[in-house]
Each structure stands twice: as C-alpha cells, then as structure tokens.
Structure 1
C-alpha cells in the first residue's frame, strides 16, 4: 500500500478484528492443495534474475555509500545515504533466499554474495543458514523453540518501540563481535562457545541457543568468520589512516538498513501465538502478505518478502515467482477465502493492529 493513500475503513476493520485462538484454526486442505498444484511450474530459480538483482543492488548501494562519504554537501550526503541504505538493504535480504534455495540451484551465488555483501556488511550467510529453517519447521513455528518468533502482540506496549530501536545498535554489535569476540574465541574456547550459541544467528528469540554447526555448514562458518574478522579489523584499522568519519557514516547507513529490516520483521507476522504448536494454515494466517496494488511494500519488503505468508506455504519458491503464485492463488480461491485472510493493506495498519493488541487487558 502506498503510504500516501488513505486507508479505507474496511481495511482497518480487518486489521483490528478479533481472531480465534491460533491453535483452533484447522488446516484448509483445499488451499494447501491449490498452493501445491497451481505453482508447480514456478519453482525453478532463474540465475539471471538473482545475479542481476543482487549485483545491481550491491553496486548501487556501495556507489551511493562512497558518494555519501566523499561529497561535501550535507543534504546530498543524506540523499545518497538513503539510496545506499535502501539498495544495500535489498542486497542484504538475499540472505533469506540463500537459506531456502537448493545448494545446486545457483552455482557460485552464495560465495559471491558473501564476498560482496555478507562479509562487508558483517552479516555472512551462516548467521541465517541453519537457523531460519527452524522457523519453518511445522512443530516449531510460534513456539519457544522458534528462533524468529516472539509473541509481540501479547507483550507490553513498550516492547514494540524497543524491538525496533534496538536495531540501531546492530552494526556496532556486529563490528564488536567480529573484531573482538571472534579473535578472543579462537584462543579462549568458553568465549567461542558463548559467542556461537548466543551471538551467531539473526534471531529475535532471546531464549534461543544455537547448536554447533554440522556437515557442510562447518567449513562455511570457518571461512566466513575468518573473512568477517579480517574485514572488521581492517575497518577499525582504517580509522588510523582516514579518520573515523567514513566508518561512522557507513555504520549509520547500515543502522538505517537494520531499522528498516526490523520494521519489516515487526509486520512480517501478527505475533498472536502464545507458544503452542499451530497448523500450517494457522501459521499462514499469523503471517502477512502485502500484495499489490500498493507499491511501497516493494521498498520495505523487497526480494519477495511482501509475500511472507505465501512464503510460509511455499518456502522453496524463488522470490521472483511469488508474485505470479499469488495472482494464481488469489484468482483461484477468490474473495472471502482463507488465502485472502493473510492479505493486509500495508505497514501502518499492521503496526496499529499489533500496537492495539499490546494494550488489551490480559
């Protein structure tokens, strides 16, 4: 939804309506069957789209960041900083695709993404791989074992602004992790254990503890952490040559991207589950689609994430196919269907719904 267009009363009513307990929602087998049958021809990832999108996003982002650092005009620097934050944010969100695509689908893409985006932004792919898939596990979603779930709609009102604003500190925390904690952990095993368990995943559940890496993830973790540590130390070392200003500008841009991602995360789900296991349909309805005609969602939820509820039905669907999959399912299932129940008009109504839910007496 475009933020400048008015929100109709029907949309607000849907956004604030009382819903049944999530555990009471049975699976809509017709919807699940349609999601499987109508999208079989859309499941192949197209390398040309992935490579072009990622490279252009990263290239524009770094060019704009360099401009923000080098120009002498403050207004122009701010504009370039915004362009850099939005572009690098889009490039960074390919980490979500890396956690789902088959390892043979895009040869070289994971390595290239880590070298161009993941390590420079101190968010290599191991921080999502092996973690995000737990969020999609049938018996984990919305429970205490889900690393990416908090019942935000059932928490205190102050929890929402805190949830968003804490993202401002993420780039500084990542710099400290890779420049200080990783080298210390290499010589002090207990520090290494704590860092891995608690500070090595893009999770929002403070109770989550990550298990040691296994299989092909283990060597990836080694070289990605080594690359991240070398890069973080180089960033700090650069301040002795060119001063602190370039690094602080870069961290400010990354902080803006992190806050935008946290806002997107805030409205990716309704966060109304109290910890009990849910059916697939209940998980779908607790997740959010923000489909067209609004266009601004493509900025704050890029790389297919505006179809987050649909993604929970079809987690292996390439991001470039989700729009067509949505059109097919919406046309086939029609108005008033379970599928339509996960469609929402935009970020503002979703934030209002969650905020109002935090204010209800319990």
Structure 2
C-alpha cells in the first residue's frame, strides 16, 4: 500500500484533461442556490412552527429539513473555494446558515482539506475517516444515531463553552483543539493555533451571541418556544440524514494503513443518475464523492457534466467505473451486509470476497 503508479497518475491526467473547462465556479449559481435554499429552509421552518394542521406541519417540516441540509452542505464547497472564486460567499453563508445553525465555516475550513491529503487519507491522521467497514451493525447504527444530538452539541459549545473559554485557558485549549472541527475521527486533534484567525474568532463570537440572543428572546416571549423546538428537530434530523450519507460516501475498507491513490479512489463512492433521490440526500454535488476525490477543485454545479464525460470517454477498464452505487438504501444494505459477513467466524480455508468485485 501507499505507492502511486503511472496508471493512477494517468487517470488523474485524463480526468483533468476531459474536464478542464468545467473548473471555474459560476458565481451566480452559488448565490442564487444559496438564496433560494435558505429562503425555503427558514420559510418552511416558520410555517412548520406556526401551522396547526398536522399535514401542513409535517410537509413544511420535511421541506425545511431538506433545505436546511442542503444549505448546511455548502460548507463543503466553502472549504474548497478560494476567496476570489465567489467573493463574499463565505461571509454570506455564515450569516444565513453557519451562525443560525451555530456551525460556522471555520469548523470545516482547514480540516476537510486534510481528508484529501494523500498521505493522510484512511489513516489515523484523517479527520474524516474511520474503519467503519470493520464496525459491528450495532456500532454503525450507533454512529448514525449519535448525530441526532448535534443541536445539543452546538448549543453547549456556543452558549457555554465559547464564552467560558475566554476566561479559562484550559477550556479555550479544549475548544480550539477538540471542539472546533467537524470530524468523525474522535482522536483528531486540531492544532492549537489553527483557528486563531480574526475572522474565525468573529464566527465563534457570532455563534455565542446568537445562542444567547435566541435564549433571551425565547425567555422574554418574543420568540415562540415551538419555533425553537422545531429548529431543534429539523436540525437534528438533517444531521442524521447527513450521517447516513457519510456511511455510504466511502467503502471504509482501510484500517489505518497508508493507501495508494487508486486505493483511495476505489474506497470512495459515486451515486449518479438515473437515481433521483440522491439530489435530496446527497445535495450540492455530494452524490459524486469519488469524482470529488479525483478532482477536488471541480465546483459542485459541474460535477454532473464531468461525470457524464468521464463515464462516456474513459476506457471500460478504468477504475472510474468501479465506484458506483444505485442509491442510499442499496449502499447501506451492502455496508451492513459486509460488516455482518466480516464478523462471522471463518476457517483458515475461507477467503473473504472483495466487496468491490
């Protein structure tokens, strides 16, 4: 494991050549998508919190959930965008989404790029990788269900730990190193000075003031408690959907060893058309996760075009054709099937089948 062959480099070169004209983000798409998504997200939230008809509440809540999830998913794009690509987008996103969800972009910037580092991917130094393929079915279920507590986590961080950290150095170190990164690897430690930029500090203070402001307005009766409760439920379910998506974003074969580039690519997953539902549960280009690992600089709105080109023009023997799944339920079924199979007792004569074969 760990070496990069000429064939692997060739795959990157072919993919880059075929998609070179798709690498420029279209600013209007980013802004229009964000504006419409946040309008639907917060409008649906308000309607769900204010309606009395259970059907309206459920329908508006579902629409808000999917829109909140889509809006939150733009944090992934922000981690790859350069400031000049879409000027002001990062600030706009934080004001419309990051602060109201108390999940500012600084919690992903400077962290997600480590997941793309070829010497980190799949190892213990990867913030977004665990050997989930070796978990038990109960462990996978627990991994997914834990995400339902995300609203509690951001409230605790923003409303208690951030203000306390400015008075207690030990709490500040804990917040900066262990509680300022969106990760799935519990052993990941962020550098102590990694999130000390003034704009990142402003994001933290913004989340603190938002949390206290909403709490005060709710206590005063200006903000209905039902609106806060609806926000909690919608945010909780949105993070749960994202955790299910995370389970099928990779095959999770590795157990800490350094991987070659092709092994890294083959551990990632695309869920392309004709499946339609990935537009909802893997929004903002996340359905093309393997393609994203191949060409991280491609903007989300061009990933579909890029996938179509690569699928049509790369040779049938290319590894690119080996990383597709049909949908969420099918991919989750395969994952749970693999972990159950891996936990069965085996004799020395048995050979484990390659799940990618």
- TM-score where L is the length of structure 2: 0.92
Deviation for aligned residue 1:46: 0.3
Query: Where does residue 75 of structure 2 map in the other structure?
Result: 95
Task: Pick the aligned partner of 1:241 from 220, 224, 240.
Answer: 220
SS, match of residue 166 in structure 2: helix
Task: Pick the aligned partner of 2:128 from 124, 132, 148.
Answer: 148
Q: Is the 8 A contact 1:289 1:310 kept in 2?
A: yes
Query: Where does residue 200 of structure 2 map in the other structure?
Result: 221
Q: Is the 8 A contact 1:25 1:282 kept in 2?
A: no
Please tell me whether residue 70 in structure 1 is matched to residue 44 in structure 2.
no
Please tell me whether residue 303 in structure 1 is matched to residue 267 in structure 2.
no
CA distance in 2, matches of 1:253, 1:149: 26
Q: Larger relative contact order (C-alpha < 8 A, sep ≥ 6)? A: 1
- Going from structure 1 to structure 2, the CA distance change for 1:24 and 1:139 (only over 3 Å counts) comes to closer
Q: Is the 8 A contact 1:289 1:308 kept in 2?
A: yes
Deviation for aligned residue 1:212: 2.5
CA distance in 1, matches of 2:183, 2:290: 19
Alpha-carbon displacement from aligned partner over 1:11-62 (angstroms, at most 9, x marks no partner)? xxxxxxxxxxx76995534322211111111110000000000110001110
- Going from structure 1 to structure 2, the CA distance change for 1:214 and 1:165 (only over 3 Å counts) comes to closer
Please tell me whether residue 210 in structure 1 is matched to residue 190 in structure 2.
yes
CA distance in 1, matches of 2:226, 2:329: 34
Task: Pick the aligned partner of 1:47 from 11, 27, 30.
Answer: 27
CA distance in 2, matches of 1:73, 1:335: 53
Alpha-carbon displacement from aligned partner over 1:73-117 (angstroms, at most 9, x marks no partner)? 222111111100101111111100000011211111100000011
Q: Structure 1 regions of 5+ residues with no counterpart?
A: 1-21
CA distance in 1, matches of 2:217, 2:290: 43
Please tell me whether residue 327 in structure 1 is matched to residue 290 in structure 2.
no
How many corresponding residue pairs?
340
Task: Pick the aligned partner of 2:162 from 182, 185, 188.
Answer: 182
CA distance in 2, matches of 1:315, 1:222: 27
SS, match of residue 236 in structure 2: helix
SS, match of residue 38 in structure 1: helix
CA distance in 2, matches of 1:40, 1:297: 25
CA distance in 2, matches of 1:172, 1:87: 20
Q: Is the 8 A contact 1:280 1:313 kept in 2?
A: no
Query: Where does residue 272 of structure 1 map in the other structure?
Result: 253
Q: Is the 8 A contact 1:28 1:338 kept in 2?
A: no
SS, match of residue 169 in structure 1: helix
Query: Where does residue 349 of structure 2 map in the other structure?
Result: none
Query: Where does residue 14 of structure 1 map in the other structure?
Result: none
Query: Where does residue 3 of structure 1 map in the other structure?
Result: none
Query: Where does residue 347 of structure 1 map in the other structure?
Result: 328
- Going from structure 1 to structure 2, the CA distance change for 1:214 and 1:25 (only over 3 Å counts) comes to closer
Deviation for aligned residue 1:299: 0.6
CA distance in 2, matches of 1:29, 1:204: 29
- TM-score where L is the length of structure 1: 0.90
Task: Give me the CA root mean square deviation.
Answer: 1.6
Deviation for aligned residue 1:131: 0.3
Q: Structure 2 regions of 5+ residues with no counterpart?
A: 346-357
Deviation for aligned residue 1:334: 4.0
Task: Pick the aligned partner of 1:61 from 22, 30, 41.
Answer: 41
1:245-256 matches, within 5 Å, as 245-256=226-237
Task: Pick the aligned partner of 1:135 from 102, 108, 115.
Answer: 115
